[in-house]
Amino acid sequence: MKTIIVTSQKGGSGKTTLCAHLSVEAERCGDGPTWIIDTDKQGTLSEWHDRRGAPAPQRADIPHGQLQDALKAIAGRGGEWVFVDTPPTATEQNATLMGLADLVLIPVRPSPADLWAVSATIEMAQDARRPFLFVISQAKANASITAQTVAALSHYGPVAATFVADRVTYASAMTDGRSAAEFGARASSAKEIAGLWSDVKTTLATQTTKRARRKS
């Protein structure tokens, strides 16, 4: 089982949207069963799931101190992927969560404020010695700031090849517990999430290969 921690110290970066959409995409691709865990007190991911009314992904409501045991229990029930949404603060809780991750996803909007805020998240991921992947979220079409953001982030770690654009479709889908792909598989937003899911799996496969080489 793989645990994906989605975190950022900047509010509004798109963490919850990524958790919701990637968990659905994993199921759509036949990579499930998938689970979601909401550790943010705002409970937006839980609200989305309540509105969803579908059996997948499944949700585990777990107190923070019991998360490690919960992950073992989910794995024992055949879970393949767990997506964990986190609060937008650099807390000890988030640092602990990163220590449980197979991969840390860090959404970053292409803006100076997001770039200034990302250093704390990078430091936490590095301290936890966990692989991380930047995801450009809410990107504007043909905006030079997007390229500048990618260039800046590339100095610290890999950036997902697929960008998540600033689209109304994502907000509309979240409103009634769906994903963008469930609005229509041919939509640009659906293609973006499919591409991002492929990027996530490729990153994890690369990390697995690197660990195997170090052991050999």
Q: What is the strand order of the sheet 103-108 is part of?
A: 58-59, 34-38, 81-85, 2-6, 103-108, 132-136
Taking CA atoms, 166 is separated from 36, 133, 192, in Å, by: 23, 19, 11
Domains in the chain and their CATH numbers? 2-215 (3.40.50.300)
Q: What is the DSSP letter of 140?
A: P
Task: Kindly give the pairing relationship between strand 81-85 and strand 34-38.
Answer: parallel
Per-residue pLDDT at 212 = 64
pLDDT in tens, 129-145: 999 999 999 998 778 99
pLDDT in tens, 35-87: 999 999 899 999 999 999 899 999 999 877 788 899 999 999 999 999 999 98
pTM attached to this predicted model? 0.93
Mean pLDDT of the 150-177 span = 94
Residue 91 has pLDDT above 80, yes or no: no
In terms of Cα–Cα distance, which of 104, 214, 197 is closest to 157? 104
